Structure 1
């Protein structure tokens, strides 16, 4: 692993099926992005997909592995962000379409042997429909977790801020869902969403490291690239180590107009924090 980091280091990228590059990922076509990230010393990528299924696994793996990287996870943000499909939409057709897209991503993840993540595609509540929408989401997440397990993947549920979704904002809320499932599942923790919900990120990582498959990182406040000297980074790395974390780290943040510079800056900040005092 990179300079004292015992876990794979990934960057968010857009799959070729995305309508546009995801704003929190490398702003380039996939083949270009993975080539640049390999040159910068990354180990892998977390690929955000919109409509890809298992049929796309071979081509995706070939593109990423040609650069010397690995696919570490499949993300599903564009299903909601680009096509407005969610599991809590009042329209049954939209809900079915959303679950179909997510199930395709789970099958893709299974073909690649990696987890699939779920964030904002669970949706938001409308006044008076909260209880029924929660039931829709819970039923769909159970189906998605089973689909992932049946195809050799594992669902990772991401606690997100209420600006993104009406459901499961804290690690404890997400863990209650994970614990209710009949299939293996875990968490994605994202420092931006933890901050937005007033959750201490270091404490959350320390408490939930073993059930967390991925930690997503961004600078506090700005959600931009990490900065060398950020005093929280050494504490987060210590919490991961002491908590027995066995997943991967993903840089998921704004690009500040230059993805290559943003990726280089974040990697340098992390490796400096991992190296300890000089």
Structure 2
């Protein structure tokens, strides 16, 4: 097993797919959950962020059993497959599709609570259609209020990921996201993704510094092609330094395309972060 990443003061996770997904998500390790966790533990990762599709609290033991033998922790649940694999969103014009999407997301919230981890919300908030923007915004906002309230009632937290406008019509920047979450009665947070920040013209170091108090996790990818991280990435040392100086208490997740070989992609990102930590945190 590779020596632990002892120069990094936060848990380092990698995106994986739960076995309920039709196929592994392209931004995560391309293997069944237990196999992916084993490879990542051997590389020196601390945890996994699990993308789920159709699950509920009853599935908690199954996920624990798949990951526990490796010693990794489950850091969070992601909900991307709800939309990416089944086409469900909170803004679909069809009421039954919206209800199905909300039921799936509520199931993920309940599973996250059973596991004692947060749940992230990304593209499942949907895309507006011509002439329907206002009702679609209302549908999404009402659904997210329900998700946040359910998470809070169960003792966990919803993290909303600002995403580029090619993915969703809602909450592209941290400012837009926080303007909405300020209207919620339940506590929520941000999942900041370097790819989405850069796609919206935002500098990740500046964004992390400004929005750190609300940030639960930072998702990382290369600045070109959303690939694995590379040694010498000039963004990484100042990003890690900003997290340390700001007192960040969350976790980091490598979320990127696999470029054909997940084991090599994960190793590249692990090595790049260790190198950056040696430079940025020394």
Query: What TM bracket, shorter-length normalisation?
Result: over 0.9
**Which of 261, 270, 274 is 1:258 aligned to?**
261
Q: CA deviation at 1:184?
A: 1.3
Aligned counterpart, 1:10: 13
1:48 aligns with 2:55: no
For residues 220-240 of structure 1, the C-alpha deviation after alignment (integer angstroms, 9 at most, x for no partner) is: 021000000001000110111
Q: CA deviation at 1:2?
A: 2.0
Q: CA deviation at 1:275?
A: 0.8
Taking structure 2 as the reference length, the TM-score comes to 0.97
Aligned counterpart, 1:155: 158
Mapped to 2, the partners of 1:211 and 1:201 lie a distance apart of: 15
Counterparts of 1:215-226 in structure 2 under 5 Å?
215-226=218-229
Aligned counterpart, 1:130: 133
**Which of 198, 201, 205 is 1:198 aligned to?**
201
Runs of 4+ aligned residues of structure 1 deviating over 2 Å after TM superposition are none
Q: In the alignment, is the contact (CA less than 8 A) between 1:3 and 1:275 conserved in 2?
A: no
Aligned counterpart, 2:250: 247
Q: CA deviation at 1:153?
A: 1.4
Q: Which moved more, 1:145-154 or 1:20-29?
A: 145-154
Mapped to 2, the partners of 1:193 and 1:60 lie a distance apart of: 28
For residues 23-66 of structure 1, the C-alpha deviation after alignment (integer angstroms, 9 at most, x for no partner) is: 00000000100000000000000000001110000110121111
Q: CA deviation at 1:177?
A: 1.6
Aligned counterpart, 1:179: 182
Q: Which moved more, 1:147-156 or 1:73-82?
A: 147-156
Could you tell me which runs of 5 or more consecutive residues in structure 1 were left unpaired when the two chains were aligned.
Answer: none
Aligned counterpart, 1:271: 274
Mapped to 1, the partners of 2:160 and 2:22 lie a distance apart of: 24
Q: CA deviation at 1:6?
A: 0.7
Aligned length: 278
* CA RMSD after TM alignment: 1.1
Counterparts of 1:29-178 in structure 2 under 5 Å?
29-178=32-181
Q: In the alignment, is the contact (CA less than 8 A) between 1:210 and 1:246 conserved in 2?
A: no
Taking structure 1 as the reference length, the TM-score comes to 0.98
Could you tell me which runs of 5 or more consecutive residues in structure 2 were left unpaired when the two chains were aligned.
Answer: none
1:21 aligns with 2:24: yes
